[in-house]
Chains A and B, each alone.
Chain A
Amino acid sequence: MNKEIIEVKDVRLSFGKHRALAGIDIRFNQGETVLLAGKNGAGKSTLLRCLAGLIFPDAGHIYRPGIAKHQIGFISDRMSLFEDMTLERAIDFHSRVFQVKEFNRSLMDELNLAPTQKIKDLSAGERAIFHLSLLLSQKPQLLLLDEIIHTMDPYIRELFLNGLIDLIAECGTTVIMVNQTFSDTGRIPERVLIMEDGRFIFDEKSEDLPKKIKKVVTAAGESLKGDIPVLYVNRSSLYREYIVYPYAEEAAKKSGYDFQEVTLTEIIKSFIGGYYAKKRTT
């Protein structure tokens, strides 16, 4: 299970003056499901595009031992399929290119997608499901999802996630998805990465997150005493909520505060909020 399928080494990429990737080092294993979060413009989509081989970095290397280009699937709402093709033709074309013997229509049937429809007439969610159907039959080793899940209605989202679960269970596919919350993806992601200014600032297993981050709630006028690392402060007129990271049990016990648990979405929000707060003060 722990076979490495991608290694990214010191990858850098700029668009004009904007530095999108500022030296990325990361490895992904086979069968891993990764949530990639971070503020808008942090470099998430750019990194996915590099991993997909759609754009090339200015410097650094991306090694993909053991996966061929045709085993990589990439779904993005900004990506165009063959807009004028009917679904039938697209399936036929795709099956020939990727030598797919049997195309599974079950997801399409759930949405009553007719083969005679044109791709350009599909809604965003329908496109994603259709695209997933194409990819499922291709059985990719690596699937990259660029901010598509949060745009789906609850029914389509469930269809999509079920398709994803089938793929992971059947093919041991590595999935890397850009998304901002766990409420959209359930607990399918087992690893969470957070990016900031073209770098990773956080890389943890999702089950370990609650042990590493806690919060302390105080009255509005009070400030936190002692040497406790604060990532972000939620302020309201009634209370202050200090998000503590990295949380250390020893220091916490000594401080005497009551450390409470933080939900996974709060954690991601705090990292992004912490970034904006830092920028305001510098």
Chain B
Amino acid sequence: MRYDIDTESAIPVHHQLRQFILLEILSGRLKEGDKLPPIREMAKIMRLNPNTVAKVYYNLDNDGFVKGKIGSGFTVMNQKSKLDKLKISMVEEEFKNFLEKALLMGFSKEDVENLMRRLLNHE
């Protein structure tokens, strides 16, 4: 696991931590049954307030991605349909950012389409 949080960034840290854990799950680096690092450890590694980490863990628990149990920490759950939905929304988000930038630079929709096609074919 590679931990990285930008403490100076304007993106709220709880959001960064949530995205980070979800990416670990989506990429398969965290598998069903794996344990999240204990709250205090995660706080130390990321230089976060333990209360912030706890909030993120409990939210992930609420959403069904992990399951918390007193004494044994938080375990990753298998939620295939939820993960698939999440995958789509995360990629959509990235595409939106990219599109916004491209349009801002003056590219037309056709330019973007052509660019995408070219990149896909070259890969």
**A→B interface (CB under 8 Å):** 1, 31, 33, 161-162, 165-166, 168-169, 182-183, 185-190, 207, 209-210, 261-265
Contacts and interface: CB of A to CB of B under 8 A. Distances in A.
Interface stretch (B2-10, B90-98, B105-113): B2-10
A259 to B, nearest CB: 11
A161 B47 CA distance: 8
A265 B9 CA distance: 9
B40 A187 contact: no
21 contacts: A1-B51, A31-B51, A161-B47, A165-B50, A169-B40, A169-B43, A182-B7, A183-B8, A185-B47, A186-B47, A187-B7, A187-B46, A187-B49, A187-B52, A188-B49, A207-B12, A207-B13, A210-B11, A210-B12, A264-B7, A264-B10
Contacts of A183: 7-8
A161 B46 CA distance: 11
A254 B122 CA distance: 41
Interface of B: 5, 7-14, 39-40, 43-44, 46-52
At the interface, is chain A mostly helix, strand, loop or mixed? helix
A186 B5 CA distance: 10
Given A31-B51, A165-B40, A261-B9, 14 more contacts: A33-B49, A33-B51, A161-B44, A161-B47, A165-B44, A169-B40, A183-B8, A187-B5, A187-B46, A187-B48, A187-B52, A188-B48, A190-B49, A263-B10
A169 B39 contact: yes
A262 B40 CA distance: 29
Contact of A166 (B9, B12, B40, B52): B40
B50 A168 contact: yes
Contacts of A261: 9-10
Nearest to B54: A169
Contacts, number: 61
Contacts of A263: 8-10
A265 B50 contact: no
B8 to A, nearest CB: 4
A186 B48 CA distance: 6
A265 B5 CA distance: 16
B8 A264 contact: yes
Contacts of A210: 10-12
Most buried by A among B10, B14, B48, B49: B49
A262 B47 contact: no
Contacts of B50: 165, 168-169
A162 B44 contact: yes
Most buried by A among B9, B10, B12: B10
In the complex, the 8 A-B pairs of residues with the closest C-beta atoms, listed nearest first: A186-B47, A210-B10, A261-B10, A169-B50, A207-B12, A263-B8, A187-B13, A169-B40
A207 B49 contact: no
B92 to A, nearest CB: 21
Nearest to B39: A169
Contacts of B44: 161-162, 165
Most buried by A among B13, B46, B51: B51
B40 to A, nearest CB: 5
B69 to A, nearest CB: 18
A161 B49 CA distance: 10
B47 A188 contact: yes
